[in-house]
């Protein structure tokens, strides 16, 4: 347990190195992270603007709920994590437990954003600071969370999953994308993120 905690702390601060493109399930999840981090960069610019953008904030909430959480986290929670549990990992302690807890924390931040947006739509300008605080909380949480997954959890998965298991996971990811979301829906999420970047700018590569 101590080793896992140390590894997670290292992962938090470790540089997110560019890796050789691999046709694996873990690489697929890391590719999702690229777009989620781009969305987070947009959010970071939104929270310092003096003129709140209602439509932009609503789109951010939609993208988190449907793409970052509804699609990406579903691949982890419903497919990757159960397979790792079969390999001896625990969902009550250790890295998977930490990731699940942070998924819940992220949903709580999004709930606060959504509730604040509804107040703002009803004319309550005092809702903006709490919205921005919730957005910043999500930003900080997800940046650290993604670092832990990319540098620690996914590397653990790579060590215990066979090539055949990675390939099977990839097929399940593809089925989720085409079955639950329909052809082109994931691309639309990415297009929406790019649209926000045209308004707020894109972070450094």
Q: What angle do CA 185, 82, 26 make, to 5 degrees?
A: 55
Q: What is the pLDDT of residue 2?
A: 41
The pTM assigned to this predicted structure is 0.86
94: left (phi over 0), alpha (psi -120 to 50) or beta: left
Q: What is the pLDDT of residue 3?
A: 43
Would you say residue 2 lies in a domain? Answer: no
Q: What is the pLDDT of residue 100?
A: 97
Distance CA(164)–CA(141), nearest Å, equals: 33
Would you say residue 16 lies in a domain? Answer: no
Distance CA(95)–CA(157), nearest Å, equals: 11
Residue 67 structural domain: 24-43+53-200
DSSP calls for 67-136 = IIIIIIIHHIIIIIHHHHHHTT--SSSSHHHHHHHHHHHHHHHHHHHHHHHHHHHTT-GGGHHHHHHHHH
Q: What is the pLDDT of residue 178?
A: 85
Q: What is the pLDDT of residue 180?
A: 74
Would you say residue 37 lies in a domain? Answer: yes
Would you say residue 18 lies in a domain? Answer: no
Dihedral, CA atoms, 177, 180, 186, 189, nearest 10 degrees?
-150
Residue 77 sits in a domain whose CATH number is: 1.20.120.520
When divided into structural domains, the chain yields a total of 1
Nearest to 30 by CA among 40, 12, 44, 17: 17
The answer to whether 40 and 164 have CB atoms below 8 angstroms apart is no
Would you say residue 48 lies in a domain? Answer: no
Q: What is the pLDDT of residue 113?
A: 98
Q: What is the pLDDT of residue 22?
A: 52
Per-block mean pLDDT, blocks of 10 residues, the chain (205 long): 41 40 85 97 94 96 97 96 95 93 98 98 96 98 98 96 96 88 84 96 66
* Token code pair at residue 13: 């601060």
């Amino acid at each position: 347990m101590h080793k896992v905690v140390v590894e997670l702390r290292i992962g938090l601060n470790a540089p997110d190195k560019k890796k050789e493109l691999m046709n694996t399930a873990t690489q697929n999840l890391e590719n999702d992270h690229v777009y989620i981090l781009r969305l987070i960069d947009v959010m970071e610019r939104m929270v310092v603007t003096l003129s709140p953008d209602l439509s932009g904030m609503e789109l951010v909430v939609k993208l988190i709920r449907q793409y970052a959480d509804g699609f990406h986290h579903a691949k982890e929670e419903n497919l990757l994590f159960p397979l790792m549990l079969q390999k001896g990992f625990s969902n009550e302690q250790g890295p998977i437990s930490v990731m699940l807890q942070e998924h819940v924390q992220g949903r709580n931040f999004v709930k606060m954003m959504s509730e604040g947006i509804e107040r703002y739509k009803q004319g309550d300008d005092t809702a903006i600071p709490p919205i921005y605080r919730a957005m910043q909380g999500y930003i900080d949480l997800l940046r650290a969370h993604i670092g832990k997954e990319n540098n620690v959890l996914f590397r653990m998965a790579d060590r215990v999953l066979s090539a055949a298991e990675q390939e099977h996971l990839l097929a399940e990811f593809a089925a989720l994308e085409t079955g639950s979301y329909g052809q082109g829906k994931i691309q639309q999420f990415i297009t929406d993120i790019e649209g926000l970047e045209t308004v707020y700018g894109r972070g450094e590569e």
